[in-house]
Amino acid sequence: MKKLKRKPIEEKTLPRLLKYCRPYMGQIAAALIFAVIYVGLNLIAPVLVGYAIDNAIGPGKVDFAAVGSLLLGVGVAAVCSGVFQWLMNMCTNTVVYFTVRDLRRLIYIKWSTVPLSVIDRTPHGDLISRMINDADSVGDGLMQGITQLFSGIVMIVCTLVFMMYISVTIAIAVVIITPLSMFVAAFITKISRKQFLKQSQLQGEISSYVDEYIGQQKLVKAFVYEERSYEDFAEINERLRVCGQKSQWYSSLANPSTRFVNSLVTSAVTILGSLSVLGGSMSVGSIATFITYANQYTKPFNEVTGVIPQIQAAMAGAKRIFEFLDSEDMSEEPESCEENRHLKGNIDIENVSFSYTPAKKLITNFNLHVKAGQRIAIVGPTGCGKTTLINLLMRFYDVNSGTVKIDGKSIYDMSRNDLRSNYGMVLQESWLYNASVRDNIAYGRPDADIDEVKAAARKAHIHHFIERLPDGYDTIITEEGSNLSQGQRQLICIARVMLCNPPMLILDEATSSIDTRTELRVQRAFTEMMKGRTSFVVAHRLSTIKEADIILVMKDGNIIEQGDHLSLMKSRGFYYKLYNSQFAANR
C-alpha cells in the first residue's frame, strides 16, 4: 500500500501563484501591449503641454493657433489613453478571474483526493473560507498588482528615458531619491505580513463558527444558548477586528511614507529645474514637462504602496490555499487492477491495527472471517470501534497494519470505486441534497428510471408519503432536507441503497430515527434485501439484531465475544449484561 508523500511548501507564494497565470499568456501579452500604448499616450500629453506653455509666454507673443492645435492633441491623447487603459484592465481582469476560477477548481478537486482524516480534522467553515474568502482576496490582490505592474513598469522605463533626454543631471537626482520610497514600503510590508496572515486565519475561524451556528439552530434554541453563542462570536469577531485594524494601520503607513519621499523628488526637480531655467539650459515649458514626468515616474511607486493591503491579503490567502493544496493525498490506487464489480462477499480481516492518533491505540490485532451472505451485527459501548471498523471496510481510512480481503483479494489491490460500488451504506446521519426526491433516491444510480425509483421507495415504505408531497417524486428537497422529518430523510436514504442493490450492506444505526412501527416494516424489507448478501449491522438497540448469524461484541477495539444471540446469552458474559441492561426497566 503506497502512500503519497506530502509536498513541502518550499516555493515562494508569489512565484507559485504567478504560475497559475501562465495559461493566459495571450491576454497578458495583450495587456502589456495596451499598457505600452496607454503609457505612451500619457507621456505625449506633457510634451504637448510644454510646447503650449512655450508658445504662450510673454505678452503679445501667444500663438493661439499653435496652442489650440496642441491642446486638441492633448484631448485626443487623453481619450485614446482612456480607451487603451480600459482594454488593458479588461485583459488583466480576464487573467485574474480565470486564475481564481482555476484555483477554486483545484480546491474542489482536492476535497475529493485528500484522505477523509484531513476533512475530519479541519473545520468545514475554514475549508469553505479558503475557497471563497481567500480566493477572493487572491483575485483582488492580483487585479491590483498586475494592473499596477504592467502600467507601472512601462511608465517608469518610459518616463526615465524622456527625463534623460531632457536633462541627465536632474534625471539622476530623481533616480537616486526615489528608491528610498521602496525601502520604506518594504520595511512596512514586512511588519504587516504576519498580521494579514493572522487575519485570514481568523476569517476562517469565524466562518467555521457561523457555519456551525446556522447549521445547529434548533440545538442552540433548544438549550437557550443564544446569548452565550453571541458572546463567543463577539470574542472571535473582536479578535478579527483588532487584527484587521492592525494590519490596515501598518500597511496604511506605506502610502503616505512613500508620498513624502516622492514629494522630496518633486522639490528637487523644481529647484534644479529653476536653476537650469535661470542658467538658460532649459525652457519654462521643458521644466513643466519634466516636473510632470517626475510625478508620473513616482506615481507607480505610490500606487504600489497604496495597494499593499490588497496584495498582502492576497499573499496570505494564497498561502492558506497552497497549504491545503499541498495536503497529503489518499494512498495511491494500484497501477493495474482487475475490475471487481461483482464480489461475492467473503471478508477476511487479518491482524488489523488502527488508531486515529499514534498516541491513542484503538484497534489492535483485529481478526474476523465472514462468509458470503452472513449477517454480522456489531455491538458494544460507545467508542469501542464499531464505526471505525466500517470506515476500514469502506477504505475511508487505511489500516496502520494488517490487511482486509474480500473474496481472497486485498482491498488495497482494488480501486476505491470498485470496492465501494459493492457496498450499500445507510448511516445514522441521513444526507440529502438540494434536488428532487427522485434525484436523491437515484443518487447512486442516476440512470435509473422512475419505475425503479418507485419500487425502491415501496420497499423502504416511503412511496405513499412521497405521493402525498405537492409534486410527488419531483418535489424539491430543501438544503439538508429541512422540509422533511428526520425519519423521512432516513427512509429516503434507505430507498437509495435499495435501488443500488449491492452485494454487501453496511447499516450503521440505519433505523435510529424511525418510529417502532415503521422500523418493523423496514426491518422486514432489510431482511429481504439481506438475503444472500454479506451484511454488517451496527446497532445500539440489541432487539434489532437477534436474527444475525454472528454477533461481534467489541470493547476497546477488540472482539471480546462472538456468536449468535442464544449462545451469547447462555454464556452470560458482557453481551448478556449489555442486552439485559436495555430491558431492565421493562421487568
pLDDT in tens, 460-484: 888 988 998 888 999 888 876 677 8
The pLDDT value given to residue 247: 79
Q: Tell me the per-residue pLDDT of 285-301, one tens digit each, with 9 for 90 and over.
A: 677 777 777 777 777 77
Q: Which domains does the chain have, with CATH numbers?
A: 16-325 (1.20.1560.10), 347-586 (3.40.50.300)
Q: How many whole angstroms separate alpha carbon 497 and alpha carbon 49?
A: 79
Does residue 510 register a pLDDT over 50?
Answer: yes
Name the grid cell of 541.
438497540
CA angle 189/192/195 to nearest 5° reads: 155
Name the grid cell of 198.
493572522
The pLDDT value given to residue 102: 92
In 107-234, beta strands by DSSP E:
none
Axis crossing angle, helix 168-177 with helix 135-166, rounded to the nearest 10: 150
Distance of CA 353 to the CA centre of its chain: 32
pLDDT higher for 167 or 456?
456
Name the grid cell of 83.
480607451
Q: Tell me the per-residue pLDDT of 527-573, one tens digit each, with 9 for 90 and over.
A: 777 777 888 888 776 766 777 888 888 887 677 888 888 888 888 88
Q: Tell me the per-residue pLDDT of 115-157, one tens digit each, with 9 for 90 and over.
A: 888 888 888 878 888 888 888 888 888 887 777 766 777 777 8
Which residues lie closer than 8 Å to 160 by C-beta, 6 or more apart? 171, 175, 297
> Which residues lie across from 366 on neighbouring strands?
352
Prediction pTM value: 0.70
Does residue 6 register a pLDDT over 50?
Answer: no
Q: With bands split at pLDDT 50, 70 and 90, how would you rate the model's confidence at 452?
A: very high
576 neighbors 569 (Cβ within 8 angstroms): yes
pLDDT higher for 272 or 348?
348
Which residues lie closer than 8 Å to 486 by C-beta, 6 or more apart? 430, 513
Sign, Cα dihedral of 558, 562, 565, 569: negative
- 454 three-state secondary structure: helix
Q: How many whole angstroms separate alpha carbon 352 and alpha carbon 404?
A: 8
Q: Is 532 exposed, middle or buried (0-12, 13-18, 19+ CB in 10 A)?
A: exposed
pLDDT higher for 89 or 287?
89
Report the percent of the chain where pLDDT is more than 90. Answer: 5
- 410 three-state secondary structure: strand
> Which residues lie across from 405 on neighbouring strands?
348, 410
Q: With bands split at pLDDT 50, 70 and 90, how would you rate the model's confidence at 329?
A: confident
pLDDT higher for 53 or 504?
504
Axis crossing angle, helix 168-177 with helix 254-279, rounded to the nearest 10: 160
- 349 three-state secondary structure: strand
The pLDDT value given to residue 1: 42
CA angle 235/236/241 to nearest 5° reads: 95
427 neighbors 510 (Cβ within 8 angstroms): yes
Q: With bands split at pLDDT 50, 70 and 90, how would you rate the model's confidence at 39?
A: confident
The top-scoring range by mean pLDDT among 27-41, 200-214, 442-456, 496-510 is 442-456
**From the CB of residue 6, how many other CB atoms can be counted at a distance below 10 Å?**
10
| Region 358-370 average pLDDT | 82
48 neighbors 75 (Cβ within 8 angstroms): no
For residue 278, the one-letter residue type is L
Q: Tell me the per-residue pLDDT of 425-435, one tens digit each, with 9 for 90 and over.
A: 888 777 888 88
**From the CB of residue 34, how many other CB atoms can be counted at a distance below 10 Å?**
22
